Amino acid sequence: MRILEKLPQILEESQNNYERHFKSYEVEELTLQERIHLKDHAEYKNKIVQGDNLELMKHLLKEKIKINLIYIDPPFFSKSDYKVNIKKASDKIESIPVIEQFAYKDTWKEGMADYLKMLCTRLFYMKDLLSETGSIFVHLDRHSVHYVKVLMDEIFGQDHFINEIIWSYKSGGVSKRYFARKHDTVLFYSKSENYHFECLKEKSYNRGLKPYKFKGVTEYQDENGWYTLVSMKDVWHLDMVGRTSGERVNYATQKPEALLERILLACSSEGDICVDFFGGSGTLASVASKLKRKWIICDMGKIACMIAHKRMVLKGVAYDMCAIGNTEKVESFIDFTAEVADKGKLHISLDRYGYKNDNEIPASPKYQETVKALMEEDSLKLIEYWSVDMDYDGHEFKPSWISCQESKEVVTDILLDYLAQERIAIRVLDVFGIETFVNQNIIKEVE
């Protein structure tokens, strides 16, 4: 059966899957992993959630959370699997090869029908989660956007289709067999006719770059020439996140902040809740924080969530790091020492990191020996992030000290202020996004 003939069946099955939720109402709860708490932390808590976005949507519906803006950048049906390159250097190991680690899959056993069913089911949930003034932006490319638009016309209504935005970019790689494919498509739909929208302006250069001097028309000049400001068009020429870009976080399909900034400025206000259910490297969270919006991002991938977590920590943003559903567990360990040093100081030193079972090393078979060598010779190089709660209450982990690998190495030996708290806790994330959590009573009293 051709895919066009399958669309009604995909729509019906997806709607049935969605409606079945309201009959069973079995909802997973969020598990708090880490609370990045700042002095200006408001009652509403931003969230990075690791797990199935479908479970998060059910949870948000149960909590009656209404979202003002949804942006999603789901898999594109590219029939490829995407990887993250992990680069490590060590004084103890002469040469460490780049480790290619799986980030997310974009391959589908039942082909396009399987892919569309996954996305269509979630679109029903997203429509229900949107506020009456809310909007949704779905970021795709040539592989599936035409089919998804047909489904969205049915779910959101043809009258609520607002724009087909073309993001045009420059990048390497062309073919002699077709015109270079250098754009993505973003479908913009509203929940109702009362959707929030602020018309953005862009430069429109005068012919010949000279002033027109028309009466009543304000003109401006920059280094390129004279221009006026006009309502923004639906073709956006924006650079990709290049190799030398300051916002690059080493994630294969990272989108530029400028793209998300236009969307958030146009369709949300300060204080609104903005959500990305395919959160990736956390671009929506980064932009929403800058623009004083509230946010939630979700991703299945441990590496994606770890990258987003580091990104937001480095920006000094308050939020909760959470998990939902049954996520794969790898048993890992961290050996450390915590000793009272001088009065009012606690010395913490990380000694060794690794996995309890060699059969559970999270790297692909090709890189198992590389990881084993690191574990034996320089295991702390596997750590990407760690944090310390100096007064752990046994419930909420709220770090008072954080170190994460950016351009510099992770600090592994620290001296912290200590006021004779009973218990400290340490949380570690490694290069694969694997979490290790330990807590320890400090027996020796400060003299």
437 occurs within a structural domain = yes
- 319 and 351 co-located in one domain: no
pTM for the model: 0.93
Bridge pairing between strands 345-355 and 332-340: antiparallel
158 occurs within a structural domain = yes
> Where is the domain boundary, 262, 297, 324?
324
Give the per-residue pLDDT at 25. 64
> Where is the domain boundary, 299, 324, 349?
324
Is residue 15 within 8 Å of residue 288, measured between CB atoms? no
213 occurs within a structural domain = no
Residue 132 sits in a domain of what CATH number?
3.40.50.150
Domain count, the chain: 2
- 292 and 368 co-located in one domain: no
In a structure prediction context, what are the per-residue pLDDT tens digits for the chain, which is 447 residues long? 788 899 999 999 999 989 887 666 678 899 999 999 866 555 678 999 999 999 999 999 999 999 999 999 998 886 777 777 888 877 778 778 788 777 777 677 778 999 999 999 999 999 999 999 999 999 999 999 999 999 999 999 999 999 999 999 987 777 889 998 999 999 999 999 999 999 999 999 999 999 999 999 999 999 999 999 999 999 999 998 877 788 888 888 889 999 999 999 999 999 999 999 999 999 999 999 999 999 999 999 999 999 999 999 999 899 999 999 877 788 999 999 988 887 778 899 999 999 988 888 888 888 888 899 889 999 999 999 999 998 898 889 999 899 886 656 788 999 988 876 678 999 999 999 999 999 887 654 444
Tell me which residue range forms the domain holding 60: 3-196+234-324
218 occurs within a structural domain = no
Residue 425 sits in a domain of what CATH number?
2.60.40
